[in-house]
Amino acid sequence: MSHIPEVTGFFDKRTFSVQYVVADPATKLCAIIDPVLDFDEKSGQTATANADAILQFVQDQGLTVQWILDTHPHADHFSAASYLKSKTGAPIAIGEKVRDVQKLWKGFYNWPDFPEDGSQWDKLFADGAEFMVGEIPSRVMLSPGHTLASVTYVIGDAAFVHDTLFMPDSGTARADFPGGSAKTLWDSIQAIFALPDDTRIFTGHDYQPGGRAPMWESTIAEQKAKNTHMSVYKTEAEFIAAREARDATLPMPKLILQSLQINTNAGRLPEPESNGRRYLKIPLDLLQAPWG
């Protein structure tokens, strides 16, 4: 029995996000990880082009969707998890610490009646939880630091780390979002680095430094040897100092205030109001960051 899944990445140029279909070739069952629901912040328009391309791929390959997984509530794009559930019937899942993120942002948005129990998802994974993708054993590693709820999905020989690590030429994730912590991020990366050196690492974003083509696959060994942060900052104190100094220079993601109200609700858009329109709610002066 092979424990090597077939991994196909789908790059969204608008948000620099990488979405994945992770398939067991023996059973043709698959998981979709971190799907993007399209949103244009200038016009307020939503669309399902990214998610529909994934559905078309699944159909063309003769796959059946077993899981729809998010690694965390994203701050830079809307999740298409609930849309894909409506099309496939597959359960949606996320790490159980999403409840801490819900509680935090519920207060920020002044939503007293918003459920903060994670009931918007079909499954909340605890740290160390085991599941299957077809016949491929899989497990969940809690990987906080970038957010309170970030998890790594280890599916066979592949680990989906999203924002915890980028490609080796791009370093590590920022840790200055509400609930983030550079120290906690260091600990999460050390846990990921304890995986076998030949573990394939798949990242959730690629910002194409120097204008290179998008890339999203490396290995633990490559990350240890070449990651521009982890190969340079060898101690926890060095890493924290460098990460916090870098974060202090970064503007907030342009969609953070829009995205969190969608993604703490499993990718569901707000209910239409009496005129049939849906509305986002943006708290002013909540976040402090350099202008940019």
Q: What is the CATH number of the domain that holds 91?
A: 3.60.15.10
In a domain, 282, yes or no: no
289: helix, coil or strand? coil
What is the predicted pLDDT for the residue at 290?
83
What is the predicted pLDDT for the residue at 292?
60
pTM for this prediction: 0.96
The domain of 76 spans: 6-251
Q: Return the DSSP state at 34.
A: S
In a domain, 224, yes or no: yes
Beta bridge mates, 10: 19
Q: Which residues of 32-44 are buried (b: 16+ CB within 10 A; e: fewer)?
A: bbbbbbbbeeeee
**What gap in Å lies between CA 32 and CA 81, rounded to an integer?**
9
Beta bridge mates, 217: 202
In a domain, 256, yes or no: no
**What gap in Å lies between CA 219 and CA 222, rounded to an integer?**
5
Query: How far apart, in Å, do the first and last CA atoms of the chain sit?
Result: 51
In a domain, 100, yes or no: yes
pLDDT tens track, the chain, 292 positions = 568 999 999 999 999 999 999 999 999 999 999 999 999 999 999 999 999 999 999 999 999 999 999 999 999 999 999 999 999 999 999 999 999 999 999 999 999 999 999 999 999 999 999 999 999 999 999 999 999 999 999 999 999 999 899 999 999 999 999 999 999 999 999 999 999 999 999 999 999 999 999 999 999 999 999 999 999 999 999 999 999 999 999 999 999 999 999 999 999 999 999 999 999 999 999 998 887 6
CB 46 within 8 A of CB 37: yes
CB 22 within 8 A of CB 230: no
Q: Which amino acid is at 171?
A: G
Number of domains into which the chain is organized: 1
In a domain, 95, yes or no: yes
In a domain, 278, yes or no: no
In a domain, 276, yes or no: no
- The structure tokens 């509305």 sit at 279
In a domain, 92, yes or no: yes
Rg of the chain in Å (alpha carbons): 18
**What gap in Å lies between CA 29 and CA 67, rounded to an integer?**
9
What is the predicted pLDDT for the residue at 1?
55
Altogether, the residues listed in the chain come to a count of: 292
What is the predicted pLDDT for the residue at 31?
98
Query: Pick from 76, 250, 243: which is nearest to 175 by CA?
Result: 243
Beta bridge mates, 18: 11
Rounded to whole angstroms, the maximal C-alpha distance in the chain is 57
C-beta atoms surrounding 242 within 10 Å:
16
- The structure tokens 């990445």 sit at 9
